[in-house]
Amino acid sequence: MPPPGLPDDLQEFKAGGSGEWFPAAEIRYYTNVFLVQDDKLLLGYKKRGLGIHKYNGFGGKVEPKESTMDAALRELQEEAGITAPLIHAGTLLFVVPGEKWAHIDIFRAEEYTGTITESDEMRPEWFDTNNIPFDNMWEEDRYWLPLLLSKQHFSGRADFEREGEKYSPKKWWIGIDSTT
Ligand SMILES: Nc1nc2c([nH]c(=O)n2[C@H]2C[C@H](O)[C@@H](COP(=O)(O)OP(=O)(O)OP(=O)(O)O)O2)c(=O)[nH]1
């Protein structure tokens, strides 16, 4: 059974952790873009802000009156210097008690135009898809990134406890959309 906040028609893929899901809160929208070419994945090393010193896709907050797609394209341009046709890969709810829920629309791109460029926020780096730096990423990314790579549409939720800038995973659930 999917946790609160996710659609009902999901097939469980990975779940773990313990305790209760944190209570509902207001939702804030984010984007995250992963570029995949052959057996290579482009990640960015985050130099500031949420997730500092972790590798992640390129993305950020959706601004008021901006569509999610426009936000994803803007962040990809700002953080990696490129533009790309984006395919919706899945969604993730990232929950921290006492904070707004982050609803993250996650996109995959397979081609791009422009020159991959380091920005103030991200240092881009290519990784082999069988050598992804999961130990230096958000904890639950290891569970859903394989679904992004295998082109299976997913939805997930991950609840974290926060102590200062340290986020510890508490409970997570990742499902595959049964229509894919
Ligand atoms: N892969 C992954 N990404 C996550 C998780 N949680 C989470 O917020 N993110 C992403 C969503 C966004 O792409 C990014 C956080 O956005 P941000 O705070 O850098 O937003 P921004 O670029 O608008 O920031 P700023 O300009 O205000 O500094 O981290 C997670 O658990 N896994």
* pLDDT of 91 higher than 70: yes
How far apart, in whole angstroms, are the C-alpha atoms of residue 140 and residue 159?
A: 10
pLDDT of residue 180: 67
Computed on alpha carbons and rounded to an integer, the radius of gyration of the chain in Å comes to 15
CA of 29 to the centre of ligand 1 (A): 10
Please, what is the average pLDDT of the chain?
97
* pLDDT of 125 higher than 70: yes
CB distance 79 to ligand 1 below 6 Å: no
pLDDT digits (tens, 9 = 90+) for 46-82: 999 999 999 999 999 999 999 999 999 999 999 999 9
pLDDT digits (tens, 9 = 90+) for 36-45: 999 999 999 9
Helix (H), strand (E) at residue 122: strand 122-128
Mutate to test the pocket of ligand 1, among 28, 29, 30 (most ligand atoms within 8 A of CB): 30
51-73 exposure pattern, b = at least 16 Cβ within 10 A, e = fewer: eeebbbbbbbebeeeeebeebbb
Domains of the chain with bracketed CATH: 26-177 (3.90.79.10)
Ligand 1, atom 18: nearest CA belongs to which residue?
A: 50
CB distance 138 to ligand 1 below 6 Å: yes
SS3 content of the chain, % helix, strand, coil (to 5): 15, 45, 40
